[in-house]
Amino acid sequence: MAQEVIASSGMYGTHSTGSLSFTIGETITETDISSSGILTQGFQQNYESILALSEVNELSFQIYPNPFSTHFFLEGDIGNDATVFIYDVSFRLIEKKFLNNCHSCQIDIDDKACSEYFIYLSQPDQLPRFIGKLIHTIP
């Protein structure tokens, strides 16, 4: 007897290094089939419980223009020793820029491929956090 699931929702994704799937539903432990009908035993779930943490946005940043061709601007309260991480759609680190005490910083990445990029900012004693998505176009 194998465990099965009656799915109410879920998702499946693949990547070059593996795959991931998850199912939200009801686990079936046994099914009995007779001439009068089918009985499936399982764990009854009358609601889905999803836990999440709300993101705290203490500081706000603007990234413009979007799309851009040679450079973009990161505007906001950027203190000393901040680092901007730029990732491509495969989440490979494309560029790492160090910033110091600027309100409007120009970031040049005109030598990179035209693509969509994800921008993260790290400030001292903080983990990098996502601040925006940009599209790099042909100049």
Q: Which domain holds residue 15?
A: 4-42
Domain presence at residue 98: yes
Q: Do 32 and 93 have their domain in common?
A: no
Integer Cα distance of 14 and 78 in angstroms: 37
Distances (CA, A) of 75 to 62, 114, 117, 132: 5, 22, 17, 12
Across the chain, which has 139 residues, the per-10-residue mean pLDDT values are: 57 77 62 74 54 58 89 86 90 90 86 88 86 85
Report the Cα 2 to chain-centroid distance in Å.
Answer: 34
Integer Cα distance of 40 and 30 in angstroms: 6
Task: Note the pTM of the prediction, 2 decimals.
Answer: 0.56
Domain presence at residue 18: yes
Q: Which pLDDT does position 93 carry in this prediction?
A: 92
Integer Cα distance of 32 and 7 in angstroms: 19
CATH number at residue 65: 2.60.40.3080
